[in-house]
Structure 1
């Protein structure tokens, strides 16, 4: 057998890191954020030393989980802003559906909004304020522009989305009724019945 090339090693490193981040995000829901590096290693089927090599502590791991989750959510926001030819409520409805689909398949992206709803209480004090500001600037304010409202209606909409998606992660419901949940969330803003 030939030794691996530098490119192959880099690909393996990226895949392993992604695997660790996915498992850590799911572990957060199961443990309420009190998971240990050993828990992540065990669930990922990796050695403790391997995971520790990438993340020597839980806080760095959560930081990267949130960082990658933010990136994925920002892509949905960018696409939501660029949805053309629809009414304002139509744009908002499509945005909600896209966000729910992302959350259903990506625990990291959901964790960003879930922790925001909890004011990032699971983070150390020094990181909490930074995460709140990042969320407001990069996700919340752009969402307000899609929703075209400046009051707390966006909070109500996000509460519907986060709560309903929580059933997927906490209660083990396999599928979300994306269309129905998105309509409920839009009703929280438009106050239509």
Structure 2
């Protein structure tokens, strides 16, 4: 049997790391972030020593889970900011909401970024929490405000709908997401807010 090449070993390393990160993200939902390395190893079907080789403690593991989740979310955000250009409309915002939901449904790490943002990244050490909050605000929240054409906190209501409904998929074990319906509900959270403010201004 021929020994593996350097390239083959690197592919195996990347595949294992991705497997560990995916399992860790899902373990976070199941345990509320209280999982340990043994839990991840058992669920991933890997030896404890193998997982420990990559991540000797859960804090490093969660840090990498979030970092990779941020990268995927930022890619989607950047693409939609480019698409929306200087004249975004409600249809583009609806499509963006659907794109987010599809990403979250297929990628627990990406969803975890927004789920933890809703909790102000409370489970992280202070330094990492501060960094995550700034990264979320600058690279995900502000671009979303541009797409939504909102400078107030009405985007928070939209995200609350999206994050909450997607949470049913991860926490309650729902078989799937009604992406069209959830996206429309999220848009209504912004339009209702706008209508309410508009009525107050006229009163």
Residue number in structure 1 paired with 2:9: 9
Residue number in structure 1 paired with 2:200: none
Residue number in structure 2 paired with 1:187: 188
> Is contact 1:80-1:94 (8 Å) kept?
no
Which whole-Å deviations, capped at 9, do the CAs of 1:18-61 have from their partners, x for residues lacking one? 00000000000000000000000000000111000000100000
Structure exhibiting the larger radius of gyration computed from Cα positions: 2
Q: State the distance in 1 between where 2:70 and 2:40 align.
A: 21
> Is contact 1:55-1:61 (8 Å) kept?
yes
Gaps of 5+ in 2: 196-203
Shift of 1:84: 4.8
TM-score (norm 1): 0.97
Structure 1 runs of 4+ aligned residues shifted over 4 Å read 84-87
TM-score (norm 2): 0.92
How many residues end up aligned between the 2 structures? 193
Gaps of 5+ in 1: none
- Indicate yes or no: 2:14 matched with 1:23: no
- C-alpha root-mean-square deviation of aligned residues, in Å? 1.5
Residue number in structure 2 paired with 1:127: 128
Bigger shift: 101-110 or 75-84?
75-84
Which whole-Å deviations, capped at 9, do the CAs of 1:99-126 have from their partners, x for residues lacking one? 0000001000000000000000111122
Residue number in structure 2 paired with 1:153: 154
Give the secondary-structure state (helix, strand or coil) at the position aligned to 2:46.
Answer: coil
